[in-house]
Amino acid sequence: MLRYGCFKIGTTCSSCGQSLPINGPYRRLSCTACFENMDVSPDIVAGFLNDFEEEYEGLTEGQGRGGTLMSGSGTFKYSYWRLEPCCSSCRTPFSVPEVLGTSKIRCGECSAEYYVFPVPDWLRKLVPSARFCCTPQPQTGDTDDKGVEIDEDSTKPIVMSCPQCAGALSVSARSDRIMECAYCNSEVYIPDAVWQRLHPVRKTEEWFVGFEGKNKIQLQKERRLIDQEEEKKELQKWHRKKTPEKIERKLKSILTVLGIFIALSIMVSVLITLTGNEKQDVSELYSRYAPFFIIPVAVGIPLWLAFKGIFSSQTGKGRECKQALARLAGKHNWKHEGAEYRSSMGYIRVKYRRRDIEIDPDNDYAIEVDASDSPFYIKTEPPGYPHDGVQRFTTGDSRFDSLFPIRYANPELAERIEKSVDEARIVLAPVYWFLDRWQQKLGRFKIGWCDAAVHLAPGHGKMTGSSNKYLLAEDLEPLLEDMIVLAAGIEAIASGREPDLP
C-alpha cells in the first residue's frame, strides 16, 4: 500500500538572500537572482520526509504540519500533508503511473505538467520507504543529481548574436553563464534578460512523494531489538569470563584478613608461652588476651579500608600521578583544580588543541576528550546506551570483539565494518591505532557520540568500584596526546576523510 505525502519546502539563497524553492528531492539549487549555486545537505529534505513518515499514522487525509527549521546550512520553511497527488492549481487528483520509470503527466483539467521519477539513491538511503516523486519542477543542470531528463521542447534554446563577431549563439537552459562563441572563440557573458528567460523565477510549489514498506523508525526499532538480543547473549558470556577475576579479588581480601588474624594469634600464643604461665588453662588465657588482638583487627581493618582511598593520592603511584598532573598543569599553564584536597588527585578541565579535555584520574575514565558527531559507540564495559541511529556490528576480529562487548556504529559504517576484517580495519583505523599502543594497559575505554574516554590498568582496576585510581606518571602525557589523535581520527572517519595517524 502506497502512502502519499505532499511537501512544500523553501529556503533563501545564501549569497543574495532571495527566496529559493526546493521543489523536489534536490541537493543543488541555483538562485535565479544571483545565479549562484547553493548546496543543500541531503539530511534536510530527508529529515522532512522521515518526520512525515513518523507522523503519518496520526494524520488524516489532508492533515499536515509546517514550521521553520534553522540549521547550519540555512533556514528552511516547510509544510507537509498526508495527501494523494493532485494538481496544485486546480486540485484535480491524478493517478500516478504504476510503472516506476520516469514519466510526465498532465493535469486533465488545467494541463499543468508534473514529472514522476523514482527517488534518487542518496534519498533512498536516508529515507528507506521513499519510492518516487511527483513534482512540477524537474531538476536541471545538475550533472550528478539528475532527477529527470527534461524534454528539449520545454527549454527551447534562445538565439542571440555574439557581441564580438555577431555570429549566432544558441543558448539553452543547460548552457553555462559564460559561453564560448563558436566563431571567434571569445567568452560571452549571457545577459540577464536571456538567462532569466531560460531560468525562470520559480515559486515554492507542492510536490509529492510516494512511500511504501517500513519507514526508517520502524526499521531502526526492528534492528535495535535484534541487536539487543545479540548483545544480551554476548554479555552473558562476557560476565562468565569476568567472574573468575571478581572471585579472585574477593578471595584476596579474605585471605589478607585471615592472614592478619593468624599472624596475631601466633604472636599472642608466643607471648603467652614466653610469660611462662604453663599451668593456666589455655582457654582462660585466650579470654584474657583476646581483646588485645580482636580489637585491633575489628577496628583496624575497617579503618584501613576507609583510609586506603584517602591516602592513595599521597602514597606510591597515586602520589606520583598527582605530581605528574601538577607538572603537566604547570607546563601548559592549566589550573590543577581540586589539588588541595588530600584525598583527591585533582583534575584538569581545559581546551587543548581546540578540544575540550578532562583529566581526572579519580574518575572512571581518567582522560576524556570531545569528538564531535562520533559515528561509533563502543565500550569495554556494560551497560551500553547506544543512541538511535546506530546499529551493532561484529568485526570478525575476536580480539576487537571480545574487548568491546558494546559496539555500535552508524548504519553505513556498521555495514562496511561487517563486510570484511580488512574493511573493518580501515573504518576502525583510529581505534586500532590506539589499541596497538595501549591495549596492554587498557582498563576501561569508550567512544560515545560526543567523546572518547579511557582509563588504564593498573591505575584503574578492571572492575567497577575499585578504589584508588591513578595513572602511571609516565603515561599521563603520551596518553593525552594519543587520545587527541584518536578523537581527530574518529572525526575524520565520520566525515569520510582519511584519518591522520602518526
Residues 152, 136: Cα–Cα separation, whole Å: 16
Q: Single out the segment in contact with Zn ion by CB under 5 A; choices: 180-188, 191-199, 264-272, 487-495.
A: 180-188
Nearest distance from C-beta of residue 185 to Zn ion, angstroms? 7
Whole-angstrom CA distances from 87 to 27, 211, 292 are 24, 19, 98
Q: Report the distance separating Cα 446 and Cα 67, nearest Å.
A: 38
Residue 28 or 131 with smaller CB distance to Zn ion: 28
Q: Rounded to an integer, what distance in angstroms lies between the CA atom of residue 105 and that of residue 94? A: 8
Helices 216-275, 282-312: crossing angle, 10 deg rounding: 140
13 or 488, CB closer to Zn ion?
Answer: 13
C-alpha cell at 289: 588476651
Q: What is the closest distance, in whole angstroms, from the C-beta atom of residue 395 to Zn ion in the complex?
A: 47
Q: Which is nearer to Zn ion, 110 or 306 (CB)?
A: 110
107 part of the interface to Zn ion, by CB under 5 A: yes
Nearest distance in Å: CB 163, Zn ion: 8
The whole-angstrom separation of Cα 129 and Cα 211 is 5
**In the 8-state DSSP scheme, what is residue 225?**
H
Q: Does 16 bind Zn ion (CB under 5 A)?
A: yes
Q: Is 38 in the site for Zn ion (CB under 5 A)?
A: no
Could you write out the DSSP letters of every residue in 109-150? Answer: TT--EEEEEEPPHHHHHHSTTEEEEEESS---S-STT---PP
- Subset of 66-95 contacting Zn ion (CB under 5 A): 87, 89-90, 92
Backbone angles phi, psi at 71, to 5 degrees: -140, 175
| Closer residue to Zn ion in complex, CB, 16/258 | 16
110 binds Zn ion (CB under 5 A): yes
Residues in the interface with Zn ion (CB under 5 A) total 22
Confirm or reject binding of residue 15 to Zn ion (CB under 5 A).
yes
The residue among 187 and 222 lying less far from Zn ion, judged by its C-beta, is: 187
- Reduce the secondary structure of 420-461 to three states and give it as a string: CHHHHHHHCHHHHHHHHHHHHHEEEEEECCCEEEEEECCCCC
CB nearer to Zn ion: pick between 11 and 215: 11
Q: Quick check: 184 binds Zn ion (CB under 5 A)?
A: yes
Shortest approach of Zn ion to residue 165 CB, angstroms? 3
Smaller CB separation from Zn ion, 90 or 457: 90
Nearest distance, CB of residue 116 and Zn ion, angstroms = 15
How would you classify residue 62: left for phi > 0, otherwise alpha for psi between -120 and 50, otherwise beta?
A: left
Q: Does residue 39 touch Zn ion according to CB under 5 A?
A: no
* Residue 105 in contact with Zn ion, rule: CB under 5 A: no
Chain residues binding Zn ion by CB under 5 A are 13, 15-16, 18, 31, 33-34, 87, 89-90, 92, 107, 109-110, 112, 162, 164-165, 167, 181, 183-184
